[in-house]
Amino acid sequence: MKKMAIGLLLLLTGMLGRAQRVFTPQELRTDFTIIRQALEEAHPGLYRFQTKAQADQEFATIEKLLKKGMTEYEFYRLVNPLIAAIGDGHVKFHRAGRPDDLHAFFENGYLPLRLYFKEGNAFVLGSYGGEEKLSPGTRILSINGEDMAHIVARLFRNIYADGTIQSARYAALNSDFASYYGLFTGPSAQFSIAYKEAAGKKGKIVLKAISAKDIQLAAPPEPPYSVSFPTKDVALLRIAVFMENEGMPPFRDFLDSIFRQIREKQIHSLIIDLRNNEGGTDRLGMQLNAFIARAPFRYYDKLTVTGVGPYSFAAYATFPPEMEYLKQFVEKVGDEYHFTYSEGLKMMNPEANAFTGNVYILQNGRSFSVTAEFTAIVKDNRNAVFIGEESGGTMQGNSSGGFAMVTLPNTHLGLDVPLLGYYMHLQNPYAIDKGVPTDHIVIPSVTDILQQRDPVLELALHLAGGK
């Protein structure tokens, strides 16, 4: 009996992480005031996808709830939907020192299933740890009595993503559903699952929880950029991230070399695969556009900041080291402050060996940030055919650049606030809260995933080959 009690205690300790102190209402209000100051004084896109009145209402609603003591986790759960409602995929609200860790609060108590979402439905791809108790392709109807539609809606309210883009939020669930579910539902020792098999039979099963270590699977390494020639007439340029790695040629040199090859091989179709490319360095996106542009182009319409300070929350924040120097490039234009130090604000010319054939761009809900900036310019100039699904970054721009790294004095939660608002130079009208649209919507089915088929690339090759 004693051994059983000790085992249960260890399980609960692992599920709850380190013991959490209960903070007083005054301490929580102090932290919340600093959150509000940081967002209102420094975030360049706080009112980009919501009005000031809507934001004020969100702040007021949470302030009314700060009348009792809360743990760090409870305060995080209360405030996070407000951060997510900004519609900014770059902002971060997190446990101290762990900005990208979805398992920062709990070591154990996670759902053991890997799921894939399509059209609001959740399908089993497999299980973490290798023990398959539900067949791949099985549809999950509910977890612990809560139907999947309610679960997805709740998680969507907590995921940081640009605007109202659904593809980005589904991409987050496809990548990390068990982690998001654990973070915003809380840990559990076991899970009651209602399901429907591919053949139509319904059933229920109870699954034991797993640890965070079981979920943290390492993705196979992929070079940031590469090129292949799937047929004699088609080049396939894969860009996994807009970053230059040590040991790789500089991005522009790489592009210059491959586009010379493309010209020498008399390639007439180019496929650029940007799926799961979550961004990187602005300059690299501009460089790629110069190799497929057919006329001089301007990349950004404007870059904005909220001002040059001083900030009332500065005592709790760390700013980019070059920030004081860069303030000299901030100009007041009407009611806005524009940041003028960027080559993307000037007209740029196509490269001498720019490609003039047919271009096909592959994108999905994880095509974000710099990737969405690049695809927005290409889409607006109608220089390519887009295949896949709506990009994860908004067509008209984003909030990113340098960050104000805020540490709250009591709970010690971190809030990372982007300082620069990017607005793309677009000649045609587009919805402000949507991503770059595709010409051919192709979203893999669960069968495609399980059979390792790539219908997006298949269609691109079909169109590029004229077959």
List the chain pLDDT tens, one digit each, 467 residues.
333 333 433 444 444 544 579 999 999 999 999 999 999 999 999 999 999 999 999 999 999 999 999 999 999 999 999 999 999 999 999 999 999 999 999 999 999 999 999 988 999 999 997 778 899 999 999 999 999 999 999 999 999 999 999 999 999 999 999 999 999 999 999 999 999 999 999 999 999 999 999 998 767 889 999 999 999 999 999 999 999 988 889 999 999 999 999 999 999 999 999 999 999 999 999 999 999 999 999 999 999 999 999 999 999 999 999 999 999 999 999 999 999 999 999 999 999 999 999 999 999 999 999 999 999 999 999 999 999 999 999 999 999 999 999 999 999 999 999 999 999 999 999 999 999 999 999 999 999 999 999 999 999 999 998 65
Q: How far apart are CA 101 and CA 106, in angstroms?
A: 10
Query: Token pair of 263, please?
Result: 């010209």
**Which residues are CB-neighbours of 19 under 8 A, at least 6 positions away?**
none
Backbone angles phi, psi at 411, to 5 degrees: -75, -20
Give the pLDDT of residue 11: 44
| Residue closest to 426 by CA, chosen among 390, 396, 384 | 396
Residue 253 neighbours by CB distance under 10 Å = 11
| Alpha carbon 297 to its chain's center | 27
pTM for the model: 0.93
Backbone angles phi, psi at 288, to 5 degrees: -65, -40
Q: How far apart are CA 53 and CA 39, in angstroms?
A: 14
Give the pLDDT of residue 465: 87
Specify the 3-state DSSP secondary structure of 257.
Answer: helix
Query: Token pair of 200, please?
Result: 């139509």
Give the pLDDT of residue 64: 97
Give the pLDDT of residue 14: 47
Residue 1's alpha-carbon distances to 4, 7, 189, in angstroms, are 5, 10, 19
Backbone angles phi, psi at 220, to 5 degrees: -60, 140
Query: Token pair of 201, please?
Result: 């039979």
CB 339 within 8 A of CB 326: yes
Q: How far apart are CA 411 and CA 427, in angstroms?
A: 46
Q: How far apart are CA 153 and CA 141, in angstroms?
A: 14
Residue 265 neighbours by CB distance under 10 Å = 13
CB 361 within 8 A of CB 389: no
Which CATH superfamily does the domain covering 225-465 fall into?
Answer: 2-enoyl-CoA Hydratase; Chain A, domain 1 (3.90.226.10)
Q: How far apart are CA 393 and CA 435, in angstroms?
A: 5
CB 251 within 8 A of CB 148: no
Give the pLDDT of residue 7: 41
Give the pLDDT of residue 220: 80
Give the pLDDT of residue 12: 44
Q: Residue 301 half-sphere exposure, CB side, CA atoms within 13 Å?
A: 14
Give the pLDDT of residue 219: 73
Q: How far apart are CA 380 and CA 288, in angstroms?
A: 15
Q: Residue 338 half-sphere exposure, CB side, CA atoms within 13 Å?
A: 13
**Which CATH number does 108-215 carry?**
2.30.42.10
Query: Token pair of 36, please?
Result: 């509000």
Q: How far apart are CA 66 and CA 79, in angstroms?
A: 11
Residue 341 neighbours by CB distance under 10 Å = 11
Give the pLDDT of residue 77: 98
H/E stretch holding 13 reads helix 2-16
H/E stretch holding 39 reads helix 25-42
Q: Where are the alpha helices (DSSP H) in 291-337?
A: 323-326
Strand ranges inside 269-382, DSSP E: 269-273, 297-298, 300-305, 317-318, 330-333, 336-339, 347-348, 358-363
* Terminal Cα distance for the chain, rounded: 70
Between vectors from CA 382 to CA 290 and to CA 167, what angle results, nearest 5°?
95
Residue 51 neighbours by CB distance under 10 Å = 9
